[in-house]
Amino acid sequence: MQKVFNLLGATAFLMSGAMVVGSAVLYTRIPSITKHYMSELQAELANMVTDMMPGQIDQVMPELPSATGPAVPFKLP
């Protein structure tokens, strides 16, 4: 019976240690995980917005001039 209790104690110790190590690894990687998730979210949001309004964006953009005038259109007195 003592061997069973020793085995259970050793198993519990290993599980606790694995949980501590796993938590520490996850805690140190949270900033990179968050940064990756936010960059994917921003890209997806930008794609959704451009897919929803391509015609409206083209309407808002002014026409480019085909010719330009002189640098100074009149003389100062």
What is the tens place of the pLDDT at every residue in 10-61? 999 999 999 999 999 999 999 998 999 999 999 999 888 877 776 677 777 7
d(C-alpha 26, C-alpha 15), whole Å: 16
Distance CA 42, CA 45 (A): 5
Report which residue type is found at 41: L
Q: State whether residue 65 is helix, strand or coil.
A: coil
Structure confidence at residue 63 as a pLDDT band (50, 70, 90): confident
Domain ranges of the chain: 2-49
Give the whole-angstrom CA distance, residue 20 versus residue 62.
60
pTM of the predicted model as reported, rounded to 2 decimal places: 0.46
